[in-house]
Amino acid sequence: MALIIPVYFLLLVFLLPQMTPFSDPLYDWIFHYAVAPAVFSVPWLAFLYYQRYRLANTIQLMQESTTAVPLRWRLFYGTNAAFVLMFFILPMVTAPLAILGGLAVAGHVFYGIGVGRLGGGKPAAALAIVVAIALCIIPAFVLLNFIPMYLQVWESILLNWRTFWFNVIYGVAQSLVNALSFGAPVYFIYYAAGEYDKGVYGESYTKPPTKWIRVGELLLFFVFVALWLPPVPTPFGTIPFFDMSWLFTSYINNISLIIVVIMILVRKGLKVEDTSTMGGASNIIIVGMFLVVEGLFKGISFLQEYEVPVKTLIIWLAFLIFAIVIIANFLRASPRELY
């Protein structure tokens, strides 16, 4: 994680138009590709260091609290969370966070001067004051230069979000939902066979081939992505996807929705509490929303102008569910080393 953070911010500034606060090519290059990523990375690295035990305990609690949630659904929520976090959350909160971090460290430095922890004499005090002021000024200077550049990228993201790249992101999420929906009955069949074994023999002899089912879902996901997406341009050339989203809106989504409804009815009718088939209530709601709104927007013309906002809301809802689970576990995690 400590390595991922600087790499992420370095990639982020590569996406931005170059910041030119000094009107000197060398200084501007250093500021853009070295100073800015460093200023953005330091608060998060400090947070990771000072909260390392709590974060480790949070991960442990996440594993314990989400054990009942199938891995495929954790992957779905995690994918949505990572996308929203990288493109919408981190770029907007990191720059102000750097200023707050600088103020906190500056306050700590001034406090150190007041109680004499930084040594005596005017030279030590003067040096400490200069360091404290720099810790406040440098993040603010970076922020003032970063915001105009990122707003250009932000406008581009919003423009493309309503056109090409929205369809790409939503197509990937839709493909994942469909692949998971098709895999759910297979899990349920093995679950039912295991329950039958328990009723007849007193214990279950039927073990679901979980790894093979996951491999099948993964392959199905790649097939769906290849069928759904339009050709995607990259710096290395265009990826020739098949651009057959009509196949999903006309057939595959309807089949997935039927599977979801049948699974819900069967679970309710048989009073099945196991969540390894469709997951919990939040999973069912998200899956249903993905599949239902797709049919509504394609079938009812006057709703199509609301298509992008509603689908965006669904992706954000999936992110919020994941974020709430993480925050809840972080708040109840111990700040001491336990695991």
117 and 237 fall within a common domain: no
pLDDT at 13 over 80: yes
Q: Residue 109: how many CA atoms within 13 Å on its side-chain side?
A: 19
Q: Is residue 324 part of a domain?
A: yes
pLDDT at 322 over 70: yes
**How far apart, in whole angstroms, are the C-alpha atoms of residue 275 and residue 268?**
12
Q: Is residue 73 part of a domain?
A: no
Q: Average pLDDT for residues 127-140, to the nearest whole number?
A: 77
Q: Which of 135, 160, 185 lies at the terminal end of a domain, its last residue?
A: 160
pLDDT at 117: 59
Instruction: Give burial (CB, 10 Å; 0-12/13-18/19+) of 130.
Output: exposed
Instruction: Give burial (CB, 10 Å; 0-12/13-18/19+) of 268.
Output: exposed
Place of tokens 């997935």: 256
256 and 320 fall within a common domain: yes
Q: Is residue 78 part of a domain?
A: no
Band (119; pLDDT cuts 50, 70, 90): low
312 and 287 fall within a common domain: yes
**How far apart, in whole angstroms, are the C-alpha atoms of residue 171 and residue 230?**
9
Q: Which of 100, 132, 160 lies at the terminal end of a domain, its last residue?
A: 160
pLDDT at 61: 80
pLDDT at 230 over 70: yes
Q: Which of 139, 160, 181 lies at the terminal end of a domain, its last residue?
A: 160
89 and 172 fall within a common domain: no
98 and 127 fall within a common domain: yes
214 and 245 fall within a common domain: yes
- Residue 24: closest CA among 35, 32, 16: 32
Domain count, the chain: 2
127 and 197 fall within a common domain: no
Q: Is residue 339 part of a domain?
A: no
**Per-residue b or e along 9-25, where b marks 16 or more CB atoms closer than 10 Å to that residue's CB:** bbebbeebeebeeeeee
pLDDT at 52 over 60: yes
Please work out, in degrees rounded to the nearest 5, the angle formed at the alpha carbon of residue 101 by the alpha carbons of 99 and 107: 105
Helical pair 164-201 and 307-332, crossing angle rounded to 10 deg: 60
First-residue to last-residue Cα distance in the chain: 18
98 and 192 fall within a common domain: no
130 and 233 fall within a common domain: no
147 and 212 fall within a common domain: no
152 and 254 fall within a common domain: no
| Domain span at 102 | 4-50+84-160
Quote the mean pLDDT of the chain.
Answer: 76
315 and 217 fall within a common domain: yes
Q: Is residue 67 part of a domain?
A: no
